[in-house]
Amino acid sequence: VVKIAPSLLSADFGRLREEIAEVTKGGADLLHLDVMDGHFVPNLTFGPFIVEAIRKLTKLPLDCHLMIEDPLTYGPQFAKAGADIVTFHVEAEADPGKTLDAIEAAGARAGMVVNPGTGPERLRPWLPRCAMVLVMSVWPGFSGQKFMPEVLEKIPVLRDELGYAGDVEIDGGISPATAGAAKAAGANVLVAGSAIFKAPDRGAVIHALRQA
Ligand code: DX5
Ligand code: ZN
């Protein structure tokens, strides 16, 4: 079964309560929260303080995608703010084992992310400990970019060669037009920002993503 994770990066933060209510009613399975530090990626978003506020607005699981250089320091803070799962990039300058431990000790599930240019085998030592692997299908930093189909070949490698049986999430350029290919490759969590929030009927897009 595929899960749909609307990315709030494309939502209207001035009316976040209504935006969350609409995607909840529309059938969202989790909320994807994009955290950027202006160093790991050339954009800035929000920190644990906002996650804490969002936590109070919804019962949906919060999926925090950390695009930051120091996930060991900040990952646990997002867990404490109410994230259910915290993922961080293997490309960040961090000790992944220690970071996974620290996030879990702070009360969230932990997972790891690969950029378009990073092979899935980079994750091998930590895969047994990842509750989720996020495969980026754009270079991280901004919503509304074009889907990169060439990243999909990593998913069968994760599943078959590396024996990874946990959640595989795909993020970037996912729409009803690209979701089918991502699912066929083996992704079971689909993130979508602009496809959902730029549409007048969010529920219809969530449904179309599920059916794709
Ligand atoms: C990009 C973020 C994505 C982004 C997706 O760096 O990680 O989650 O919000 O937006 P779309 O679906 O518009 O590509
Ligand atoms: Zn993301």
At 204, phi and psi to the nearest 5?
-65, -40
> Does the C-beta of 191 come closer than 6 Å to ligand 1?
yes
Q: 87 C-alpha to center of ligand 2: Å?
A: 9
| Shortest-distance Cα residue to atom 10 of ligand 1 | 143
Q: 128 C-alpha to center of ligand 2: Å?
A: 22
Could you give the 3-state DSSP secondary structure of residue 89? strand
C-alpha distances out from residue 4 to 106, 115, 136, 145, 187, Å: 25, 20, 15, 18, 11
Mean pLDDT of the chain: 98
Q: Span 54-77, mean pLDDT?
A: 98
> Does the C-beta of 42 come closer than 6 Å to ligand 1?
no
Q: 32 C-alpha to center of ligand 1: Å?
A: 9
CA distance 194 to 11: 8
pLDDT in tens, 138-171: 999 999 999 999 999 999 999 999 999 999 999 9
Atom nearest to 43 CA in ligand 1: 6
C-alpha distances out from residue 187 to 52, 133, 144, 147, 184, Å: 28, 10, 20, 14, 7
CA neighbours within 13 Å on the CB side: how many for 128?
1
Strands 62-67 and 31-36: parallel
> Does the C-beta of 54 come closer than 6 Å to ligand 1?
no
Do 158 and 134 form a contact (C-beta atoms < 8 A)? no
Q: Identify the pLDDT of residue 16.
A: 97
> Does the C-beta of 208 come closer than 6 Å to ligand 1?
no
> Does the C-beta of 89 come closer than 6 Å to ligand 1?
no
- Give Cα 171 to chain centroid, integer Å: 6
Residue 12 has pLDDT above 90, yes or no: yes
Do 75 and 110 form a contact (C-beta atoms < 8 A)? yes
| Shortest-distance Cα residue to atom 6 of ligand 1 | 140
Q: 130 C-alpha to center of ligand 1: Å?
A: 21
Could you give the 3-state DSSP secondary structure of residue 91? coil
Q: How many residues does the chain have?
A: 212
Active-site residues: which are they?
A: 34, 171
Q: What is the pTM of this model?
A: 0.98
**Rama region for 147: left / alpha / beta (φ>0; ψ in -120 to 50; rest):** beta
Residue 93 has pLDDT above 90, yes or no: no
Strands 31-36 and 189-192: unpaired
pLDDT in tens, 110-147: 999 999 999 999 999 999 999 999 999 999 999 999 99
CA distance 126 to 10: 31
